[in-house]
Amino acid sequence: MVRKILRKAKLWTLKEDSILKATIKKIGIKNWRSVSQDVSKKIKIARTAKQCRDRWLNYLTKGIKISAFSEIEIKKLYKMQKIYGNRWLKMAKRLPGRTENQVKNFFYAMIRRNIRKFNKGKEESEKLKFISMDMLKNNEVRKLLLSKKGLSSAKLRQTKLSKEALSFLKSLRNDQKGTNEEITKNILSNRDIFKDLDQSEGKVEILENFDQVNSDNIKDKPSFLFPSCILPIPLGLSEYLKYEMPEVKNGEISDRLIMKSL
């Protein structure tokens, strides 16, 4: 039976940050599961190993910037995306003080905003649906999805995609469908692997080796490991996985996390 965890993810408070720092000082950063258990017990709110790790690496580690990207950084991001594609970690390494997570979220937020602007007031058949980050490989689609924040909604709504761009999206959608079906097949044929997941308190905890998966090394992982950092969730997999990345629903990217147990 599949049960949903209804509690919504909450923002970290200063008190929680302080407790996380103290816990890491005591336990270290080798065992995030132990860190999460200790922190959750003290703050009386369930924080997963991944949440603790991400909070530490992306916000609390010395030298990490938490301010909005500057105009200079944004210009660099645009240039690097053309060169490195969706290799967020490689891009982050070239921006002092920035993390892979920050870079990835910057692009996801931008794409989500521009898709909403483009789709506003359009018929369902005319709306642009998010397929995957490979959409950026087409120059016309890339220009649309990476439009700067200052571009008015009216101007974006008036944008028309050429037949070539629409054909590219159709082909990409078909390829994505085939990929998702293959991933689904591999996951279901290896479902026993999920029996090793920690299910304390009815939650699915990601294995420690999942914490190390990023967009640069995902290709080195076994095929049955679902690459959630670069693909939308395939149909039929939600009952086996806790999806930690932005949810893709009806072609739109959401900030909400899906947390499910077996």
Q: Nearest 5°: phi and psi at 189? A: -80, -15
Amino acid at 28: G
| pLDDT tens track for 229-256 | 333 434 344 333 433 444 455 555 444 4
Tokens of 229: 């950092």
Taking every pair of Cα atoms in the chain, the longest distance, rounded to a whole number of angstroms, is 59
Q: Which domains does the chain have, with CATH numbers?
A: 3-60 (1.10.10.60), 71-160 (no CATH), 177-261 (no CATH)
Mean pLDDT of 216-241: 37
Residue 208's pLDDT is 35
What's the rounded Cα separation, in Å, for the pair 149 and 216? 28
| HSE, side-chain direction, 13 A CA sphere, residue 220 | 8
130, 115 in Cβ contact below 8 A? yes
3-class SS of residue 252: strand
Strands, E assignment, the chain = 3-4, 247-249, 252-254, 260-261
What's the rounded Cα separation, in Å, for the pair 214 and 142? 23
Residue 150's pLDDT is 83
Nearest residue to 134 (alpha-carbon basis) of 120, 145, 147, 126? 145
* pLDDT tier, 221 (very low <50, low <70, confident <90, very high otherwise): very low
Cα dihedral sign, 170-74-116-162: negative
121 has which bridge partners?
none
Residue 61's pLDDT is 87
Helix residue ranges per DSSP H, 28-99: 32-43, 49-55, 71-84, 88-92
46, 7 in Cβ contact below 8 A? yes
3-class SS of residue 9: coil
Residue whose token pair is 């990345």: 245
| pLDDT tens track for 131-140 | 888 899 999 9
3-class SS of residue 16: helix
Instruction: Among 19-23, 41-45, 140-144, 228-232, name the one with the lowest average pLDDT.
Output: 228-232
Q: Nearest 5°: phi and psi at 33? A: -65, -45
* pLDDT tier, 165 (very low <50, low <70, confident <90, very high otherwise): very high
Residue 228's pLDDT is 37
What's the rounded Cα separation, in Å, for the pair 33 and 197? 12
What's the rounded Cα separation, in Å, for the pair 100 and 198? 26
